[in-house]
């Protein structure tokens, strides 16, 4: 959980411990100068499914919530989006069907796309692809793009309270989207067992703004999931 103190306002952010949110984490670090907050930001992260549960129980004020869980939430136009291959959400067709306990959205997406195999998401999926590229791996975002001709929205920044402040942060990030300093890329690359070039290459496939096409895709996904 991420505790945010600013101008007398106390907020608790839920943070997903995946590479795809590095730009947002850098943005938050620049926004907040509180040392305690920075320490929490670095060491108190969790998986999408765990953050979904914490958000539902209102243990966090704001978080990137899995798309499938965001339907009735108060959300911004900030999310985690891929327009084609994302390289970190796969179904391995060579393995027995198995869901990924870290994900809610990806498990349902695999079902909608009628893919039978093991669902693998997050940094471990990216590392697996980079080191063991296989014809048996089906990129779920790419498959959705091929079938629906739309980008896929994996998560949205939603909030339980302090909506005006969260909306303001979201809009500011959309306009700035800061570059990640080299020293930080180097540190994360070492932690994740990847190269700096691999990190930068991966992040080039992630976007964060929800425009018309992204919202249309999200609406379609939620409708198909409801009818599945």
Q: What pLDDT is stored for residue 3 in this prediction?
A: 44
Q: What pLDDT is stored for residue 1 in this prediction?
A: 44
CB 15 within 8 A of CB 63: yes
Instruction: Determine the Cα–Cα distance for residues 228 and 225; give it in Å rounded to an integer.
Output: 5
**pTM for this model (two decimals):** 0.88
> What are the structural domain ranges in the chain?
2-70+155-201
Which sign, positive or negative, has the C-alpha torsion 55, 74, 142, 188? Answer: negative
Q: Which residues contact 146 (CB under 8 A, 6 or more apart)?
A: none
Q: φ, ψ for residue 157 (rounded to 5)? A: -80, 110
Closest CA to 107 of 158, 52, 40, 188: 52
Instruction: Determine the Cα–Cα distance for residues 75 and 114; give it in Å rounded to an integer.
Output: 29
Q: pLDDT for 153-187, tens place per residue? A: 999 999 998 888 899 989 999 988 778 899 999 99
Flag residues of the chain having pLDDT under 50. 1-9, 34-44
């Amino acid at each position: 959980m991420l505790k945010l103190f600013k101008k007398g306002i106390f907020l608790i952010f839920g943070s997903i411990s995946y590479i795809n949110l590095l730009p947002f984490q850098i943005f938050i670090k620049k926004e907040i100068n509180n040392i305690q907050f920075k320490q929490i930001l670095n060491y108190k992260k969790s998986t999408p499914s765990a953050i979904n549960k914490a958000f539902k129980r209102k243990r966090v004020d704001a978080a990137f919530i899995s798309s499938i869980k965001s339907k009735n939430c108060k959300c911004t136009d900030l999310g985690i989006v891929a327009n084609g291959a994302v390289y970190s959400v796969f179904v391995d067709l060579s393995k027995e069907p198995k869901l990924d306990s870290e994900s809610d959205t990806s498990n349902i997406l695999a079902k909608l796309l009628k893919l039978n195999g093991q669902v693998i998401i997050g940094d471990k999926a990216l590392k697996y692809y980079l080191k063991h590229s296989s014809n048996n791996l089906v990129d779920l975002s790419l498959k959705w793009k091929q079938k629906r001709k739309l980008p896929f929205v994996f998560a949205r920044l939603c909030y339980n309270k302090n909506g005006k402040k969260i909306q303001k942060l979201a809009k500011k990030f959309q306009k700035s989207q800061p570059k990640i300093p080299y020293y930080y890329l180097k540190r994360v690359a070492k932690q994740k067992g990847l190269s700096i070039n691999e990190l930068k290459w991966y992040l080039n496939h992630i976007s964060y703004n929800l425009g018309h096409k992204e919202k249309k895709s999200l609406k379609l996904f939620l409708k198909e999931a409801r009818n599945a």
